[in-house]
Amino acid sequence: MLTDFFYIVSGLVLLFFGGEWLVKGSVGVAVRFGISTLLVSLVIIGFGTSAPELIVSLQAALTGSPEISLGNVVGSNIANILLIVGFAAAISPIASGTREIRRNSLIVIVASLALCLIALMNELDRIGGILMVMTLVGYIVWSYFDDKKATPEEVKELVEARAHATEDVPEAPKQLWQSVAFIVAGLVFLALGANWLVTGATSVARAFNISEAVIGLTLVAIGTSLPELATAVVAAMKKHADVVIGNVLGSNLFNIFFILGSTAIVTPLPLTGRIAEFDVWLALVVAVILYPVIKSGHVIDRREGVVLLILYAAYIAAMFVF
């Protein structure tokens, strides 16, 4: 049993540093080759902070633990809004209503609804996975051209938001070889951390007779969300509200379209049990609740942040009680 907990703790540590180093190295390469802040903030940072979820979901699905794979994604999306936004707001009130964030908030609802409809069919097959990944690529391309229609004031907001996103990640290495080294080390840590986390989590679940779905929704989901949480804390302390909300929405989009899609391409995912019947719908509800807050530009103050944290704690507690 001690070995299993060692695997879990060590896996989480490796995932955290692996995700951080992958983002750091990727931003370094992007800066070196003059890649635009759009790609850096939306694609590179978004993918980097979601890399732990991707590797863990693939590892779990390939080793015969699809509930951990699905629970990881759905649990992360719920945690991103209730836990991360709540924690960040408790540090410093946040509000953001930029064109990009309003658009992404609406698409997160669409993506969450799509996942609910897929759950009704009880499986996400390879064709569905391909369509999901293509949808994300298409959305990123469409976003690029849609931003060109922005007013001068909206353009200013976009530039500031993307500048904040690059400021809040670890400082990029100066040399190209250092950036590549961080990327390689990050990928190695992610692969090893995912293997250890899934191995330890499945063993603990069986030992304590806890379902793999609950382990995926709680321990694994929170663990793989650590990069987003770390970024949110830094952004909140710097009062970069746009980064907190932007990273949460970007991560939720990547989780549904890219991580579940990529996992399903490798091996079809069954969508059954409590996650398909309840948790995917809860993820949709919290996404819907967040949209009017963003749309109106309402400030999520410290008191409301604490309420979000209490709701998340109640959600976690309910899983082990009922």
- pLDDT bin (cut points 50, 70, 90) of residue 280 is very high
Cα–Cα dist 198/205, whole Å: 10
Task: Tell me the pLDDT tens digit for each residue of 183-215.
Answer: 888 888 887 888 888 888 888 877 888 888 888
Domain that includes residue 214, residue range? 2-321
Q: What is the mean pLDDT of residues 148-177?
A: 61
- Mean pLDDT for all residues in the chain: 81
- 171 has a pLDDT exceeding 70: no
Check if the beta carbon of residue 269 is closer than 8 Å to that of residue 63: no
Residues near 309 by Cβ (< 8 Å), separated by ≥ 6?
82, 83, 86, 87, 90
Identify the H or E element spanning 270.
Answer: strand 269-270
Cα–Cα dist 240/232, whole Å: 9
Q: How crowded is residue 71: how many other Cβ atoms within 10 Å of its Cβ?
A: 28
Name the residue with higher pLDDT: 252 or 150: 252
Q: What is the mean pLDDT of residues 223-231?
A: 77
CA angle, corner 90, sides to 85 and 94, nearest 5? 55
Domain harbouring 76, CATH code: 1.20.1420.30
| This prediction's pTM | 0.83
Task: Tell me the pLDDT tens digit for each residue of 182-191.
Answer: 888 888 888 7
Q: Given 3-state DSSP classes, what are the helix, strand and coil percentages for the chain, each rounded to the nearest 5?
A: 85, 0, 15
Q: What is the mean pLDDT of residues 46-58?
A: 77
Residues near 47 by Cβ (< 8 Å), separated by ≥ 6?
26, 254, 258
In the prediction, which pLDDT does 184 show? 82
Rama region for 301: left / alpha / beta (φ>0; ψ in -120 to 50; rest): beta
- 262 has a pLDDT exceeding 60: yes
Name the residue with higher pLDDT: 40 or 59: 59
Number of domains in the chain: 1
In the prediction, which pLDDT does 82 show? 93
Task: Tell me the pLDDT tens digit for each residue of 82-123.
Answer: 999 998 888 888 776 677 778 888 999 999 999 999 999 999
- pLDDT bin (cut points 50, 70, 90) of residue 150 is low
Positive or negative: CA dihedral 129, 191, 42, 70: positive
Percent of the chain with pLDDT over 70: 82
- pLDDT bin (cut points 50, 70, 90) of residue 13 is confident
In the prediction, which pLDDT does 167 show? 56
Cα–Cα dist 131/122, whole Å: 17
- pLDDT bin (cut points 50, 70, 90) of residue 261 is very high
Task: Tell me the pLDDT tens digit for each residue of 16-30.
Answer: 888 777 777 776 776
- 298 has a pLDDT exceeding 70: yes
In the prediction, which pLDDT does 183 show? 80
Residues near 268 by Cβ (< 8 Å), separated by ≥ 6?
123, 124, 125, 126, 129
Name the residue with higher pLDDT: 134 or 51: 134
Alpha carbon of residue 184 to chain centroid: 21
